Each structure stands twice: as C-alpha cells, then as structure tokens.
Amino acid sequence: MGKSVLLIEDEPNIIEAISFILSRDGWTVATHSNGHDAVGVVESTLPDLIILDVMLPGKSGYEILREIRELHETQGIPVLMLTARGQVKDREMAERAGASRFMTKPFSNAEVLEAVRELVVR
C-alpha cells in the first residue's frame, strides 16, 4: 500500500484532477473540502503528506497549517501549499506558517507529482 496523501481543497474539479494524478502514481489519496475540521482530520488520519489549499471555506490554509505545526503528532508532516494568489507576500506567509513547499495555481501535473515525491521520502 502506497503512502497516504491528504488533500484539503474546496474546488471539486481540482480535487478530482489531483486525486487522479496521485492515485495513478500509486498514492493513497484522501480528500477533505472545508477548513473547519481539517486539523481534526489530519490528527485522526496522520497522512504522510498534506496538500493544502489556502482559500478554504471556514478557515484559511495558513491557520490550519499553523495549528498542524503546533500539534506534536502532526508537526513533522510535510505540507505542500497551493494558492491561486501568486504574490510574493503569499509565499512569505506560507513559509512563515511552516509550509514545506509552495505552489501557485495553475500548476502542471508533473510539478505536483515531483513535489510530492520529493517531500515524502519513500
């Protein structure tokens, strides 16, 4: 069984696209689509990697990431952040919040795969 990836994203089409790409590469993909209970899901599933969108309904990706980094069980999990706002200050905020990698939409499928593979050492 492949390593697990938790995708937290609210845009259905993007969820479908990323799930398809990662599943085909052998990853086990779980998805979650709102910000409210995202941290709880992370805590209970403890995935090998989290792909986290910034703009989520209920709670922003930065906040979720900060909370993940504060929790002992989850603070080591690599997080790949996705944002549709490609500005410099967004990248800085992501890094401050503890993101392992930051990607701006739209991205190429190959980029995502490569980033995921790098972040999770098999």
Partner 1 sequence: MGTLNILVAVCLIYVIFLFLVAFGAERAAMRGKGGWLRSPLVYTLSLSIYCTAWTFYGAVGYAARSGLEYLTIYIGPSLVMIGWWWVLRKLVRIGRAQRVTSIADLISSRYGKSNLLAVGVTVLAVIGTTPYIALQLQSVTVSFAVFSDAYEASVPLQSQESNALLVAAGLALFTIVFGTRNLDVNERHHGVVMAIAVEAIVKLFALLAVGAFVVWGIGGGVTEILHRIDTSKIGAWQIEGDRWAALVFLSAAAFLCLPRMFQVMVVENEDEGHLRTASWAFPAYLMVMSLFVVPIAVVGLDMMPEGSNPDFFVLTVPLATGNDGLAMLSFLGGFSSATSMVIVAALALSTMVSNHIVMPIWLSVTGGGASVSGDVRHVVLLSRRISIGAVVTLGYLYFRLSGGGSALASIGLISFAGVAQFLPVLLGGIFWRGATRTGAFAGLTVGFLIWAYALLLPSFGTGVLISQEVLNNGPFGIGWLRPQAFFGITGMDPLVHAILWSISLNTLCFYIASLVGFPSPLERLQGAQFVNVYEHSSNPQSWSGSLAQSEDLMVMAQRILGAREAQELFEREARRQGVSGLLPEPSPDFLQVLERELSGSVGAATAHAMIGQIVGGASVSVEDLMAVADETAQMMEYSSQLEAKSEELTRTARQLRQANEKLTQISEQKDSFLSQVSHELRTPMTSIRAFSEILRDSDLLSEAEKVKYSSIIHDEAIRLTRLLDDLLDLSVLENGQVNLNVQTGQLSEVLDHAIAAALTGGGPDRLEVNRRRAREHVWLSTDLDRLSQVFINLISNAQKYCDADQPSLSILVGRRDGALIIDFIDNGSGISKQDQAVIFEKFARVGEQRASGAGLGLAICREIMARLGGDIDYLPGQGGAAFRVSLPGALAVAAQ
Residues at the contact surface with partner 1, assessed by CB under 8 A: 10-14, 16-18, 20-21, 24, 34, 55, 57-58, 84-87, 104-110
**What amino acid occupies position 9?**
E
Q: Considering only CA atoms, which of 83, 57, 85, 52 is closest in space to residue 69?
A: 52
Find the shortest distance in angstroms from Cβ 13 to partner 1. 4
For partner 1, which is the closer residue by CB, 48 or 53? 53
List alpha helices for 34-119, DSSP H: 38-45, 61-70, 88-97, 109-119
CB of 5 vs partner 1, minimal distance in Å: 15
Distance (Å, whole) CA 97 – CA 29: 24
Beta carbon nearer to partner 1, 12 or 118: 12
The CB-of-83 to partner 1 minimum distance in angstroms stands at 8
CB nearer partner 1, residue 29 or residue 77: 29
Cis peptide preceding 47, ω within 30 of 0: no
